Copies of this chain bind each other. A is one copy, B any other.
Amino acid sequence: MPYLLRTVPDPEPLDCRILTAALELFVDRGYHNVSVHDIQKRAGVSIGSIYNHFGGKEGVARALYDHLLMELDELIDIVEQEVGGLRAQCNAMIRRLFGFTETHRYMIAFVFDAKHTEFLSESVPINRTRPFVRLLGKITAAIKAGELKPIAPVVAYTLIFGSCVRLVNLRLDGLIDDPLMAYFDELTDTVWAGLATAD
């Protein structure tokens, strides 16, 4: 077929189509309310292909999960190269998280809004995965270094990220109408005001 007649863009690779279809369905309906047939229909592929590529529904979910956690981990790398100091790095993470909540809604919802242990057999709680353990580690180090008030690291961790993840949840659930960036300064200023060292 002549090149100029090819009005249709190159189709996405089959496994990508499966993953995006599954991601949207899992987030919209919840993992257990989605069947392999649903994924197959939405992705426009056959059941056989899904089993060939991923071994089944759980395999699709696991591929998504691993991939997204890896991307989150790489995000920490990027932020670490960009700026220094815990406060600046955390703020940069939060800024990106808020941004992605608007632009990559499904990915954020799948990572931060799902109970993975309920559908991924032998998966650890998300707070034990690499990126989250890493963040907690950075906070622990910063407290040791006197960058933060000397409190239990896990308390600082939940203050910084627990509150902003909750904002993300509220936004994804439609309880907040404005893009989250509208709240960025208020949130971070207030958090860090509380966490600042006394002197």
Known: A155-B183, A167-B155, A190-B155. A128 touches B195 (CB 8 A): no
Decide yes or no whether A170 CB sits under 8 A from chain B: yes
**Contact B118 A33, beta carbon cutoff 8 Å:** yes
**Contact B173 A167, beta carbon cutoff 8 Å:** no
B33, B118, B128, B167: the one within 8 Å of A154 (CB) = B167
Q: Contact string, A101-122, partner B, CB cutoff 8 A, digits 1/0? A: 0000000000001110111000
Q: In whole angstroms, what is the CA distance A194 to B192 when docked?
A: 7
Decide yes or no whether A142 CB sits under 8 A from chain B: no
Residues of B near A194 (CB, < 8 A) are: 190-195
Decide yes or no whether A8 CB sits under 8 A from chain B: no
**Contact A158 B167, beta carbon cutoff 8 Å:** yes
Besides A125-B175, A158-B167, 7 other A-B contacts (C-beta < 8 A): A31-B32, A32-B32, A32-B118, A154-B167, A158-B163, A159-B191, A192-B194
Known: A162-B166, A173-B127. A190 touches B32 (CB 8 A): no
**Contact A30 B118, beta carbon cutoff 8 Å:** yes
Residues of B near A195 (CB, < 8 A) are: 190, 194
Q: In whole angstroms, what is the CA distance A133 to B47 when docked?
A: 44
Decide yes or no whether A152 CB sits under 8 A from chain B: yes
Decide yes or no whether A149 CB sits under 8 A from chain B: yes
Decide yes or no whether A78 CB sits under 8 A from chain B: no
Q: In whole angstroms, what is the CA distance A166 to B127 when docked?
A: 10
What are some 14 contacts across the A-B interface (CB < 8 A)? Answer: A33-B118, A149-B190, A152-B182, A155-B190, A158-B164, A158-B170, A158-B187, A159-B187, A159-B191, A162-B166, A165-B166, A191-B194, A192-B194, A193-B193
Decide yes or no whether A186 CB sits under 8 A from chain B: yes
Known: A32-B118, A125-B175, A194-B190. A163 touches B154 (CB 8 A): no
Residues of B near A169 (CB, < 8 A) are: 127
